[in-house]
Amino acid sequence: MSVKNQLLELMTRYGGNPRCLASVVGESSKIIAREILEMQREHQLALFPAVFSEGLGLGKYLIVVRNCPIKYETASRLFHPIMNLFRGDMEENLFSITLFADGGIVEDIIKALNALSCSLVIATRIKQTRKFVRDPTCYDFESHRWICVDKLEIRQGEFLRNPHEQDIKGVVSLQVNPFADIRIINHRNHVFKIVTGFMYVLGKSDFVVQVISKEELTEYIPDVVWTAEGEDIFISEMHVNKQGLEAAMKKVRDRASEIIISPKSPLYALGYSLPYEIFRNGKWVYPKIEINKTRAT
C-alpha cells in the first residue's frame, strides 16, 4: 500500500489537515501537505465530513418535483436555510430537494410547491441514512484507476440529549473546511459523536446521480456515497464519470422508479451546511414558509 493509500485511509478518520495527520504518522507536515496536494491536483480528491444530523434532533425529508415552472437556480434557493441538498436533472424538468424539517413544515412546503404549479412526485420522511467510502486500498495512484470494488460503511453517530450552539458551529466548521485541524475544534467530544468520519471522492467524476427505488441498491453500486431509507423507498447517490455512469445505469435502470442525473455544477447539484441560523436557545426553530410567485419565477 502506497503512502497516498495510507493517508487516504487516515483521512477517513481524521480529516485532511496535514499537521494533524503528521502527528498520527510521525512524518513532516510538509511532506503530508505535498502528498495531499498531489491527490487534489492529479486525482481530483474531494473530502467532506460524514454528519449524523439526526443526532442533533434534525428531521430530514426528501421531496421530488417534476415540471416546475421555475429555474433550477431559483429552486435551489427556495427553502433556504433548511435546504440540505439540491439535485436537478440535466435533461428532464425534474429535481429533488432534501430538507431539514418536521412534518408541519413539509406540509407548508408542499402547499407552496402546489401554488407554483409544480407536480409533486415524492414526499417522504428519511428514516435512516448510511454513508460509504470506497476502500482506500482499492485505488491505484499509478494508473489512476480503481482496482477493486470494495467499500466501507462509516459508523452511525450518537444522539446528543441537549445540543449546544458550539456543537453546531463545530460541525459546520468541518463542513466548510474538512481540512481543518480536528484537535482544535470546540466541543470536539460532542462534535465527533455527530461527525463520525470523513467521506471522499477520488478520480474524475462528472455527474452526481440520485436513484430512487423500492429496494436497497448498495450492493449494485461501487461508487455509492450515501443511501437513505424513506417511507417505502430508498434513495442512493453516487459520484461518477461518464464511463461509471453508463456502467451504473445498466445495473440500476430497471430497479429505479426515478433517476436524477446532475452534472457536477452549482446550477444542478448543491449541498448546504447545517442550518445553524435556526438554532436558537438550544432548539431548532423552523421558519415560516411563504412563496411570492413574482419573486420565485
Q: What is the pLDDT of residue 294?
A: 58
Q: What is the pLDDT of residues 231-285, one digit of tens each?
A: 999 999 999 999 989 998 999 999 999 999 999 999 999 999 999 999 999 999 9
How far apart, in whole angstroms, are the C-alpha atoms of residue 16 and residue 4? Answer: 12
Q: What is the pLDDT of residues 144-201, one digit of tens each?
A: 999 999 999 999 999 999 999 999 999 999 999 999 999 999 999 999 999 999 999 9
Q: What is the pLDDT of residue 289?
A: 86
User: pTM of the entire structure?
Assistant: 0.93
How far apart, in whole angstroms, are the C-alpha atoms of residue 59 and residue 167? Answer: 17
How far apart, in whole angstroms, are the C-alpha atoms of residue 287 and residue 278? Answer: 8
- Residue 8 pLDDT greater than 60, yes or no: yes
Q: What is the pLDDT of residues 99-123, one digit of tens each?
A: 999 989 999 999 999 999 999 999 9
163 upstream amide cis, omega within 30 of 0? no
Q: What is the pLDDT of residue 290?
A: 76
Q: Minimal CA–CA distance to 178: which of 45, 3, 77?
A: 45
Q: What is the pLDDT of residues 199-246, one digit of tens each?
A: 999 988 899 999 999 999 998 888 899 999 999 999 999 999 999 899
Q: CB-based contacts of 34: which residues, under 8 Å, 6+ apart?
A: none
Which segment of 5-9, 133-137, 190-194, 290-294 scores lowest on mean pLDDT? 290-294
Q: Are 217 and 255 in contact (CB under 8 A)?
A: yes
Q: Helix, strand, or coil here: 157?
A: coil
Q: What is the pLDDT of residue 295?
A: 55
What is the rounded average pLDDT of the residues 137-144? 94
Q: What is the pLDDT of residues 56-105, one digit of tens each?
A: 999 999 999 999 999 999 999 999 999 999 999 999 999 999 999 998 99
Q: What is the pLDDT of residues 21-44, one digit of tens each?
A: 999 999 999 999 999 999 999 999
Q: What is the pLDDT of residue 293?
A: 60
Which letter does DSSP use for residue 57 in this model? T
Q: CB-based contacts of 44: which residues, under 8 Å, 6+ apart?
A: 201, 202, 203, 204, 205
